[in-house]
Structure 1
Amino acid sequence: MKDSTAHLSHPTAVLAFILASYLMIAFDISVVITGLPEIQNSLGFSATGLSWVQNAYTLVSGGLLLLGSRTGDILGRRRMFIVGIALFTVASTAVGLAPSASWLIGARAFQGVGAAILAPTTLALLSANFEGDERTRALAYYGAVAGAGVSVGLVLGGILTSWISWRVGFFINVPIGIAMILGALHYLAETEMHPSHFDLAGATSSTLGMTALVYGIVRSATAGWSDSFTIVALTAGTLLLVFFVLNEWRAEQPIMPLHLFGNRERVGAYSARMLFLGATLGFVFFTTQFLQGVNNYTPFKAGLAFLPMTVANFAAAFTIPRLTRQFGNSRLLASGIFITLMGMAWISHLSADTHYLTGIALPMVVLGIGQGITMGPLTASGIVGVTKEDAGAASGLVNVAHQLGGSLGLAILVTVFATASSTTLDAQQLLAHRIATSLAAGTVMLAIGLVIVFALIVRPSNIFRIPGTK
């Protein structure tokens, strides 16, 4: 039986469902961020424990993404697309109803299960339905959604938190999820199923390994690196991840085929994506706290403060198809990360006296342009040269790098935040100092990502080639 998604009569509808579902995921990462101070006050989170509102979601999602990508190949991508949306919608309702910190963290982890199924399925459906220039445009829109969804979530999350409650941002997913399920049943055709075995050992070891590793890093911020629980967590995480790699090497049908790492461009894209997402997620996490904790903005005003980045992100993302044809994917990717690096370096000079326009808004414009340019080419490089048989696994790896990069990066930056101290500053000045130090560490992450892109993706001989010449 042929893959029926390859020749659907409603390509616009298919693209709309793919983008809308991914928008739900990207939006959900950030809609909670502008509400974090309110969540901390209402549910009793500690300063470092607050990061688990994000990490519970991203760790479970990232750890199960590879297994989620295989479920689409084995059970059918339309079926798993619907299952992913249904789980995500139910979990969103549970988050909105959370009466305690532990409930919220558990519900966020359950959301991660839905995202782990949904995210790689959307990218695999995109790869199967579009080719050539159409795929370039579709990937540009996909990248735009990844960045713009986060930006829109920040703005809308602030508005909802101030006017109603942070909980409403999750209840929004309920009617959208129901509409998406009904639409998918009507417009999406089922793909060919490939009976196979699920690599449960790989899924379990990767999820537990990353969770232990991130827990150890976050715990070190308060307990120190010599703490016995910190050491045990870091050791267990490392051993589990080593076991995962060995398991994938020997498994008959691995969730992460190691031959996908045989392509330098894909390896560079996965590595750069992890660093890029770690830095940019850290940026929104800490900038929100700066705006509310140092500048005393309301959640509504803090959400609106991200508009310069949102607008710039949208504008830049929709130029990607034309810029890709003119400059090529690799040089565009390097340029996008470089621009993001400049914006991050600029905003890392925050202090308690920083003016919004010159010290925050203008750097946000630069960051928005960089993010809008980067995400599409970064996604394209992550699936370059893969066969249809590996489309699901490659899509899973792109999303794993996305989610786990955010978790690991945020854990590292939270540790930097907690260890940056000064005895000569008052409370607001100290908060600003710690946030600035964390953003400086994010700048270093982006710099390392740029080096990786140049080393593994951009061919030096082509860096300064004039567009249109051979």
Structure 2
Amino acid sequence: MKSTRASGARLSAAQRRLLVLSCCAIALVIASMAALYTALPEIAAATGASQRQLTWIVDGYTLTLACLVLPAGALGDRFGRRKMLIGGLIVFSLASALPLLIDDPVWLIAARALAGVGAALVMPSTLSLLTAGFPEERRGIAVGLWAGIAGAGAVLGILGSGLLLSQWSWVSIFVAMTAAGAALSVGSFTVPESVDQARPALDPLGALTAALAIGLIVIAAIEAPERGWLDPLVLGLFAGGLLSAALFTLVELRAAHPMLDVRLFADRGFGSGTASITVQFLISFGTFMLLVQFLQLILGYSPLASALAIAPMVVPMVALSAVAPRLADRIGLRWTTLAGLVILGAAMLVMSRLDADSGYLAALWPLLIMSTGLGLCTAPATTAIIAGTPPEKHGVAAAVNDAAREIGAAVGIAIMGSLLAAGYSARIAPALPSLPEAAREPVGNSLAAALQVAERAGPQAQPLVDFAQDAFMHGVQQAALVVGCLTLVAAVLVAAWAPGRRKTALAAPAAEAEPVAAAKPASS
């Protein structure tokens, strides 16, 4: 026991290298989701992409990542997590290099989708390699840092792209992603291999139904803000997703070697951790969408300035993520989940008080409050998901964690986008009849279009600018208020599901007794 504790007291050079590489890889994958947000206007001007094509340049990546992350986790468990990490980074790098050669919008969408395939192989591998490479008593800190970096990845992507765009064109973002992916793929060869020694048979039917379920739900969430939540296509996609999820459940219950044993969701830590992660990313990515537009359209910030304005949230999130797993061990997952999600809900309620006259400090407070809540509950939720599965299945457990993030992000952007659009449309409608015919549609669509119309009209259009900004802020207030209230309800429900301190405390002695044995089956 003493030797084990002593060996876990200080990280070895190999463990430090694994931790840095895993955190850098997950940061790259998450950052790539948000890196193009600030570059879309320039991409449209350079390539002639339509608004719908711009949407899919961003969402094609998220869609393939969400669809394939579960099968990718299972492949890593069977064939080797390091192999999946290296292969995923190579695919990601090659796909990110394609826009350097061809800048047609359709090719951009295809390249981003292919990059999502690589990202799906990378995401679960980073976490499962960490859990296999660290002893039980040090695993919580490693997972906490990983979760903190993953949570801050979107901010890092927005910040990095803003810095690049201040000096070069949008192509520089793809150059940076290609170079980072290539460097990390080379570094990944130094990581020890980790694999499920049983090497169970693959589950192609489970992989297919899982990809269909996640893909249809994510596509429905992407289409809902533009088409409406009651549009027949959106309803059909949601229905197809739910039906596919039901088929996936039946397939996995009957399979001799299921890709994901759905009975794991009966474990309160695994199930509540997955629900908590989904809510967290729903809030965070939806909030980024609102705040970036507020900073640029209301405060007039440049892409770089808006990225720098969001960056302070990284500090409390990463700092708290490093200690949150220990806190959850002491007081129980239930209380860290409740505290974190309640703080997230409170941040949304504070944000609902913003108006067109609010300055940066008024927006910074809800951002810091939100990052505090994320720091408290993200790492414990991820740790609970991993702890709820046997070590040889940590690749699939990591994939469940990642799929929850992607679904939450897509649904969060869809819900907040819909509420923002509805609030803006309702408030701007009285001003439309007094406008010229050609200006009514763009002004009614968005604040960005209204500002372009006003800029062409000259100084006399200032009343239109003021009215459109007030309408936009009405939509922001409506979205933040509704989602904040729903988050508070979700906080109570998820916390009631999560295990308390007694269950965690009883599990601790068993984990302490055989830390090496717990990690051994997952590595070769």
Q: Kindly tell me: are residues 222 and 406 of structure 1, through their superposed partners in 2, closer, same or farther at Cα, counting changes over 3 Å?
A: closer
Say whether the 8 Å CA contact 1:69–1:396 is kept in structure 2: yes
Q: Return the index of the structure with the highest Cα Rg.
A: 2
CA distance in 1, matches of 2:88, 2:400: 17
1:111 aligns with 2:115: yes
- Look up the equivalent residue of 1:87 and give its one-letter code: V
Matched residue, 1:467: none
Matched residue, 1:274: 278
| TM-score of the superposed pair, with normalisation by structure 2 | 0.79
Instruction: Give the CA deviation at 1:324.
Output: 4.6
Q: Kindly tell me: are residues 242 and 128 of structure 1, through their superposed partners in 2, closer, same or farther at Cα, counting changes over 3 Å?
A: same
1:247 aligns with 2:268: no
Aligned partner (choices 371, 378, 387) of residue 384 of structure 1: 387
- Look up the equivalent residue of 2:70 and give its one-letter code: L
CA distance in 2, matches of 1:41, 1:438: 30
Instruction: Give the CA deviation at 1:51.
Output: 4.7
Q: Which runs of 5+ in 1 are unaligned?
A: 1-5, 463-470
- Look up the equivalent residue of 2:403 and give its one-letter code: V
- Look up the equivalent residue of 2:341 and give its one-letter code: I
Aligned partner (choices 57, 61, 67) of residue 65 of structure 2: 61
Matched residue, 1:369: 372
Paired residues for 1:83-122 under 5 Å: 83-94=87-98, 99-122=103-126
Matched residue, 2:397: 394
SS at 1:172 equivalent: helix
CA distance in 2, matches of 1:112, 1:45: 20
- Look up the equivalent residue of 2:29 and give its one-letter code: I
CA distance in 1, matches of 2:102, 2:498: 44
Which structure has more helix as a fraction of its residues? Answer: 2
CA distance in 2, matches of 1:192, 1:214: 30
Paired residues for 1:153-302 under 5 Å: 153-189=157-193, 191=195, 194-302=198-306
- Look up the equivalent residue of 1:429 and give its one-letter code: D
Instruction: Give the CA deviation at 1:335.
Output: 2.0
Deviations 1:338-360 (A, max 9, x none): 22222222123232222111x21
Say whether the 8 Å CA contact 2:264–2:388 is kept in structure 1: no
Deviations 1:169-216 (A, max 9, x none): 332122222222222223423545544433232223332333333333
Matched residue, 2:494: 453
Q: Kindly tell me: are residues 321 and 269 of structure 1, through their superposed partners in 2, closer, same or farther at Cα, counting changes over 3 Å?
A: closer
Say whether the 8 Å CA contact 1:68–1:396 is kept in structure 2: yes
Q: Which runs of 5+ in 2 are unaligned?
A: 1-7, 432-466, 504-524
CA distance in 1, matches of 2:58, 2:253: 31
RMSD between aligned alpha carbons?
2.9
Instruction: Give the CA deviation at 1:453.
Output: 3.0
| TM-score of the superposed pair, with normalisation by structure 1 | 0.88
- Look up the equivalent residue of 1:414 and give its one-letter code: G
CA distance in 1, matches of 2:107, 2:351: 35
Q: Among the aligned pairs, what percent are the same residue?
A: 28
Instruction: Give the CA deviation at 1:72.
Output: 0.8
Matched residue, 1:468: none
Matched residue, 2:83: 79
1:427 aligns with 2:468: yes
Deviations 1:265-315 (A, max 9, x none): 211111121111011111112211221122221111111111321233233
SS at 1:126 equivalent: helix
